[in-house]
């Protein structure tokens, strides 16, 4: 399959839905990808079976606060600088680029780097969504080392880190992203194609494209058609009545209150944010929580609104749907369940909390 100018808008819409509000606004990644594909031609989407087993899969993504990445964008050369360092330190050729996370801009922008470098894009990612922390990837669960990690900024500062584990990856790279001004481009959990077959969340790029196409082709209520496609739940339809958000410690953190309208009039839903929407609460009870995917949609278009663009007065529908199964394992929940974000609550799957999809 080729990712070209026709496919990219679908990919961007799908990445936004899978983002849980994080990964940066896909509009930025979409613009970068459209330009790169116009300049260098479409990008081939490949499965690991099409690549040499001992070559390198290079995960790529933006690290930092999405609030910052709206204004501080890539200059386009980051992918090349990362690749040069990756091939030098691993001594192996890069076979394909993979989005570190499929959610948000991070799901689209790798297409721009792939186009510029003439590399294919692996149909997969590290999360099947977006998460705030760098070690929250399926590769960590599969025992793939986070080292070496290559990080660059748009000025061509380059950093090659060999963290002893995912905890130190996060500490060192987060502080560097802050030092760089709030965002950086990074590749970590480098792996061979053979390792990617067991380590990555495969199929997530085509999944995002399919979600986007469902929205593009919707003939009825796009929210309804989306929810049917992803086996999702409508948590609340309403209006954003309060937004509290700050860029601290390299993250966009805060909480948002949605006041119900129409059939949900009189209800209040509260979302807790750390880059992504992590917990949805109503009357003190959890209605959905991480690692399941909570996304805020524009009620009219069903387009996802990233956490950094949530504003008072927006008419939204909050939806939730199941995460990739890797996150529901014991190791997955230890890495990315509610307690990994300091919420004192146990994970319960969204379908258990909410019953049959609506």
Where along the sequence are the contacts to its own copies (CB under 8 A)?
155-164, 168, 171-172, 174-176, 178-180
Strands 94-99 and 56-64: parallel
Alpha carbons within 13 angstroms on the beta-carbon side of residue 10 total 21
* Closer CB to its own copies, 80 or 171, in the complex: 171
| Total number of residues shown for the chain | 358
Least CB distance from residue 84 to its own copies, whole Å?
11
* Closer CB to its own copies, 168 or 245, in the complex: 168
Least CB distance from residue 344 to its own copies, whole Å?
26
* Closer CB to its own copies, 232 or 250, in the complex: 250
The SS3 assignment for 312 reads coil
6-9 long-range contacts, CB within 8 A, separation 24+? 7/42, 7/209, 8/33, 8/34, 8/37, 8/108, 8/111, 9/212, 9/216
Least CB distance from residue 78 to its own copies, whole Å?
14
* Closer CB to its own copies, 104 or 163, in the complex: 163
Least CB distance from residue 161 to its own copies, whole Å?
5
- Give how far Cα 61 sits from Cα of 5, 219, 257, Å: 21, 34, 29
Least CB distance from residue 54 to its own copies, whole Å?
22
* Closer CB to its own copies, 161 or 241, in the complex: 161
Could you count the other beta carbons within 10 Å of the beta carbon of residue 244? 10
């Amino acid at each position: 399959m080729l990712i070209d100018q026709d496919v990219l808008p679908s990919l961007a819409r799908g990445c936004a839905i899978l983002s849980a509000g994080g990964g940066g606004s896909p509009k930025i990644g979409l613009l970068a990808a459209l330009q790169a594909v116009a300049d260098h031609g479409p990008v081939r989407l490949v499965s690991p079976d099409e690549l040499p087993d001992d070559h390198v899969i290079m995960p790529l993504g933006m690290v930092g606060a999405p609030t910052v990445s709206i204004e501080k964008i890539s200059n386009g050369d980051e992918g090349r600088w990362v690749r040069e360092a990756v091939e030098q330190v691993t001594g192996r050729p890069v076979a394909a680029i993979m989005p570190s996370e499929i959610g948000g801009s991070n799901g689209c922008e790798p297409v721009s780097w792939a186009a510029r470098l003439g590399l294919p894009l692996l149909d997969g990612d590290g999360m099947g969504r977006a998460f705030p922390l760098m070690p929250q990837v399926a590769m960590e669960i599969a025992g793939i080392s986070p080292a070496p990690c290559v990080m660059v900024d748009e000025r061509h500062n380059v950093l090659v880190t060999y963290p002893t584990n995912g905890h130190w990856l996060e500490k060192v790279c987060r502080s560097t992203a802050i030092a760089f001004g709030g965002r950086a481009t990074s590749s970590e959990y480098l792996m061979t194609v053979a390792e990617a077959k067991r380590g990555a969340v495969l199929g997530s790029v085509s999944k995002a494209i399919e979600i986007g196409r469902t929205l593009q082709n919707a003939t009825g209520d796009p929210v309804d058609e989306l929810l049917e496609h992803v086996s999702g739940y409508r948590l609340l339809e309403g209006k954003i009545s309060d937004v509290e958000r700050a860029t601290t410690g390299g993250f966009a953190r805060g909480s948002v209150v949605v006041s119900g309208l129409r059939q949900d009039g009189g209800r209040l839903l509260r979302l807790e944010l750390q880059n992504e929407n992590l917990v949805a609460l109503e009357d003190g009870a959890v209605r959905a929580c991480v690692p399941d995917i909570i996304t805020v949609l524009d009620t009219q278009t069903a387009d996802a609104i990233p956490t950094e663009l949530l504003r008072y007065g927006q008419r939204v529908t909050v939806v939730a749907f199941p995460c990739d199964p890797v996150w529901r394992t014991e190791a997955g929940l230890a890495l990315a369940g509610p307690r990994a974000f300091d919420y004192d609550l146990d994970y319960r799957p969204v379908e258990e909390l909410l019953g049959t999809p609506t």
